[in-house]
Amino acid sequence: MSRKAKNPSDVRRELVVGDEEFKSPTTIIEVDTVIRGRRYQANFVFNVPSIGEQITIGQMKSVYLPNGATADANAQMIVEQICYLEVCLKDPKPEWWKPLEFMEGDLLAEVYSKGVAYANNFLGRDAVPGSATDEDGREDGRGDDATPESDVVTGVQTPDQSSPTLINDSKGA
């Protein structure tokens, strides 16, 4: 008995979380590559995902890998890329953009890495993958408002250091 995978756009329509009209930061991802003698050329409109869209991505991944299904690292990455791009790439998409029908992951990986690099750069998270520094020349890839690690306090508070909370954890007292 064969089981056909659901089309990512159908899965997304079933699981949309958040406001579809939300306008997140946008860029154009340009692709012009040749794979197995065929040229793939397009300009994708990419939006940085909102929290609601990140939830939708997570829900979509659970459709492809239900109940924490085990999969090898390659399959997990392909599911991540397909779900992320289905949410973040806006229509219209080129006629050839059918990731579930691709024979190789190179094209999918190229678009995904460009999208993630833009999102991370916008959010001030990480340096662009493959570079030694981010666009500000910082080697740690953090945005200007990041807290230096030396300023972060770690450890467990002793009872005399702790402060009261608003939560009453006493049972019936």
Query: Where do the structural domains in the chain lie, given as residue ranges?
Result: 8-127
User: Does residue 160 carry a pLDDT above 70?
Assistant: no
Return mean pLDDT, the chain.
75
Which amino acid, one-letter code, is at 62? S
pLDDT at residue number 170: 47
User: Does residue 69 carry a pLDDT above 60?
Assistant: yes
| The model's pTM | 0.62
43, 84, 90, 138 from 125: Cα distances, Å: 25, 17, 23, 12
**Residues forming a β-bridge with 35:** 38
- Count the Cβ atoms, other than its own, within 10 Å of residue 135: 10
14 membership: H or E segment, kind and range: helix 8-15
Quote the crossing angle between the two packed helices 51-64 and 73-88, to the nearest 10°: 140
